[in-house]
Amino acid sequence: MSDVETSRLVDMAKGNRGLAVYVQERLKELARGSGGPTAKEIARDVLSGRVDLREAVLSDTYASEMRKNMVRFAHWYSDLTPEKRRRVIADTRKQLDLLGNTKSLD
């Protein structure tokens, strides 16, 4: 990821480097194909600096992909047992707490 794009992520996260690292790591996962071919292409464009993250998120292609993934997530979440749901929520809270503690970007 270019220094310019890294700086943009930190700016978008309002200076929260932990959040910027989290977004960067999710983009890397998407670039490896975890979200399907369209998300992979968009993530690679953002990571390479060809497209700004804001531009990518506002694009019609990405919005369509997000809708599909949100529906998939909603189905997954609704199928969780109450105990599993509590664990997911607890794990998510831990991750959110860690966001402010991450010091560096690759």
Q: Domain residues of the chain, as ranges?
A: 3-99
Give the DSSP H or E segment for 29: helix 17-31
Report residue 104 as tokens: 């560096």
What are the pLDDT digits (tens) for 56-92?
Answer: 888 887 788 778 888 988 999 999 999 999 999 999 8
Q: What is the pLDDT, as a whole number, of residue 68? A: 83
Q: What is the pLDDT, as a whole number, of residue 8? A: 79
Structure-token match 């997954």, residue found? 76
1 pLDDT above the threshold of 60: no
pTM comes to 0.66
The CB-side HSE value for 52 (13 A sphere, CA atoms) comes to 9
Structure-token match 């953002």, residue found? 46
